[in-house]
Structure 1
Amino acid sequence: MWLHVLILALVTLQRVIELVIAHRNTKKIEARGGFEVGSNRYGFVVALQVLWLAGLWYLVLTYLPPIDQPWIYAYVVLEATRGWIVAALGSSWTTRLMVVPGEKLPDEGFHSWIRHANYFVVAAEIFILPLAFGLIWYALGFGILNLALLFWRMKSEDAALRPLREEPTPAEETPEA
C-alpha cells in the first residue's frame, strides 16, 4: 500500500507544482501584453484533471490493485518528457491558452516534431497511469474524455495562434532605417 500512496502522492505533488508554475508564468505573460483565449474551456480542463486524480486515489486505495511496473516506467518517461517541454517553453509554459501578440512560437525541441507536445504528454499520462494499476476501463474512459477536451482546446489554440505562425507579408514588414 505504501507504494500506491507514494506514486499517487508524487503525481498529486507534481500537479500542484505545475499549477504554481503555471500561475507564475501566466502573470509574466500578462506583463508582456499577453491575454487568455478560450477561458471558458479552462474550467473543464481543471475539472477533468481533478476528477481523474481523485478517482485514482479512491480506486487504488480502495482495491489496492497490483502495480504493473512497465506502465510505471512508461509514466516516468512521460514525466521526463513533460519536464523537457516545460523547460523548453520556460516562462511561456502555462496551463492556460495565452497569446502574446508579436512573439515567436517555439519550434525547437519536442515542438519541432509535435505542435501540441504538452497535450500529447497529458493525453498519454491520463491513459497510462491508470494502466499501471490495471484500471483499463478507467484509462479508456478518461482517455476518451480527455482527447475530446484536448481536441476542442487545440482548435481554439490553433485559431488564436495562427497569426503568430504565419510569415508576415512584405507589406506588413516594417522598413529598416
Structure 2
Amino acid sequence: MPFHLILFVVAAFAWRLLTLAISTRHEKALKKHGATEYGAKNSILLAIFHVLYYICAVVEAAAGTREPNTLLSAGGIVIYIASALVLVSVIRSLGGLWTIKIIISPQHRRVQSGLFSLVRHPNYFLNILPELIGFALALNAYWTLVIGIPLYLVPLVTRIRQEEAAMRETFAPDL
C-alpha cells in the first residue's frame, strides 16, 4: 500500500478515535443527568460493523496486487474529508447531545438548525455512508464497498427506526 494511503488510514482511525472520545464524554454527562439509552444492542452491532468495514478495506488494500487507481483514491479521500466536515457540523449543532448512541435526556430538545433543517438524519446520510464509501474508494477496496455497504445498511436502517421511535416518544408534538 502506498505511503500516502497508510497516512490516510492512520488519520482516519485517529479521527474515529477522537470522535469516540467526544461521544463517550457526552454520553457520561447525559447519563449523569438522567438520560435514557435506546437500542443499545444495535449500537454495539453498528460499532462492530463499522470497525469490521474499516479492517476489511485495509486488508483488501494491503492484499491488493495491482497499483491503486490514484484518481479514485483522491476522490475517496475528498469524500471522506467532506463527510468528516459534516460530522463536525453535526457535533456543533447537537453540542453535548451528540453521541454515537441513541441517548435522550429529559432536557433534550429537537434540533432543527444547520444540516438538521435540510436532512432528517444528516449524521447517517451525509456523514456515515459517505465516510464508508470514501474510505473504501480511497483504498480501492471494491469488494469491501460492494459487500460491506449493503451489510452495513441492515443495522443502520434498524438504528434509524429505533431513533425515530425514540424521537416520537420524546417529541411527539414536534414531529
TM-score under structure 2 length normalisation: 0.88
Give the conservation status (yes or no) of the 8 Å contact 1:127–1:142: no
Q: Do 2:78 and 2:134's aligned partners in 1 also have CA atoms closer than 8 Å?
A: no
Query: Runs in 1 of length 4+ with deviation above 6 angstroms?
Result: none
1:37 and 1:160 in contact (8 A); partners too: yes
- Count how many residue pairs are aligned between Structure 1 and Structure 2: 168
Cross-structure match for 2:103: 98
Q: Which residue of 1 aligns with 2:29?
A: 28
For the aligned residues, what is the CA RMSD? 1.6
How many Å separate the matches in 2 of 1:92 and 1:106? 10
Question: Could you say which residue in structure 1 is the equivalent of 2:42?
Answer: 41
Partners of 2:60 and 2:89 in 1: CA distance: 30
- Relative contact order, higher structure (CA 8 A, sep 6+): 2
Q: Is 1:84 paired with 2:89?
A: yes
Residue identity matched to 1:134: N
- Deviation per CA, 1:81-128, whole angstroms, max 9, x where unpaired? 111111111111101110113521111000111121111110121122
- Within-5 A mapping of 1:57-72: 57-63=58-64, 65-67=68-70, 68=72, 69-72=74-77
Q: What secondary structure is seen at the aligned counterpart in 2 of 1:134?
A: coil
Larger gyration radius, structure 1 or structure 2: 1
1:144 to 139, 150, 155: 150
1:45-89 Cα deviation digits (max 9, x unpaired): 111011111112212223263332122212211111111111111
**Structure 2: 5+ residue runs without aligned partners?**
none
Aligned to 2:134: 128
- String of CA shifts for 1:126-157, please: whole Å, max 9, x gaps: 12221223323321211111222111111111
AA partner of residue 150 (structure 1): L
Judge conservation of contact 1:105–1:164 (CA < 8 Å) in 2.
no
Distance 1:3 1:66 in 2: 13
